[in-house]
Amino acid sequence: MKGTGWRCCPEATVIKADPRDTGDEPYLLAQKLPGIPIIISKKRFLAGLFAHERFGTNFFVLDDGFQHLGLRRDLDLVLIDASSPFGNGHLLPWGPLREPIDELARADATILTRFSGQTSGEKTLKFINLRFPKIPAFCADHLPEKIVFPFLSEVCEPDFLKGKRVLAFAGIARPDAFKETLLKLGAEIAHFRSFSDHYQFNRSEIEALIEMKDSLGARYILTSEKDWVRMASITPSCPQIAYLSIKFVLISDQGGFYSLVRSAVNLRCLGMKGN
């Protein structure tokens, strides 16, 4: 945030691990946030200590930290998929929930992701506002940003796909959402293949997809950016391979959201001065 005294950490501009060791999401974050230390550890507290001692970090963002009750947080932001917020309403392993829905009362704010303004998103927002009226609810969406051809070092606007015949695949949590995005951009999908989330591709599988593209008369092979992170090092040179980059955008009350974050930071700073 502007005015918070942020400074780049030169040592954190170099990625020192492989995506197969770190996972695709931390590696992608490291690529997109040069100068920001991205630390992974089974023990969050030790990771925080390392970041503070090594890089002087005093602002920590935890991924999936809401259930990490051993660490005290200054702000809890819970992201909820607006199109499918609670699955069947049951806890693991019967359902997808990690905690009962009522535990959302601990949150400082909720962010409804994939909020497209359609019926499912509006219903989820109404439910959250009625069930937890004191907790701010913000809306966000995943929007296509650009089409990247890594072997050509070329970048195209998302509407480049309109009318193009493509073979597409994805190994993410919701591959159907990726397919739907391509269709909305006007792509003609000759074939779509789904893999399990965080799937570790091998070279022969990629080669088979390239051959299938040719046999189906597709012009391009499309995948997600997260998938590309995992397959970049093993993919044979193919100018027709591209990935779709997605941006996460707050579509409601951005000012209110950042004001909430600043207030939490300022309150924490006042508490530290008081001690």
In the three-class reduction of DSSP (H, G, I as helix; E, B as strand; rest coil), residue 163 is classed as: coil
Per-residue pLDDT tens digits of the chain, which is 275 residues long:
333 444 567 766 788 888 888 889 999 999 999 889 999 998 999 999 999 999 999 999 999 899 888 888 999 999 999 988 998 999 999 999 999 999 999 999 999 999 986 688 899 999 999 999 999 999 999 999 999 999 999 999 999 999 999 999 999 989 999 999 999 999 999 999 999 999 999 999 999 999 999 999 999 999 999 999 999 999 999 999 999 999 999 999 999 999 999 999 998 887 766 55
pLDDT value of position 4: 41
Cβ-Cβ contacts under 8 Å for 113 (sequence gap 6 or more): 79, 80, 81, 82, 140, 141, 142, 248
DSSP class per residue in 243-274: EEEEEEEE-S-HHHHHHHHHHHHHHHHHHHHH
Contact 111, 77 (CB under 8 A): yes
Q: Please count the other Cβ atoms lying within 10 Å of the Cβ belonging to residue 191.
A: 16
pLDDT value of position 273: 61
| pTM of the entire predicted model | 0.87
Contact 107, 79 (CB under 8 A): no
**Alpha carbon of 164 to those of 17, 18, 23, 186, 242: distances in Å?**
36, 33, 31, 8, 13
151: tokens are 């072997």
186: left (phi over 0), alpha (psi -120 to 50) or beta: left
| Number of continuous H segments (helices) and E segments (strands) in the chain | 8, 8
pLDDT value of position 3: 36
Spatial separation of the C-alpha atoms in residues 156 and 211, rounded to whole Å: 24
Query: Residue ranges of the domains in the chain?
Result: 1-60, 144-247
Kindly report the CATH class assigned to 144-247. alpha beta
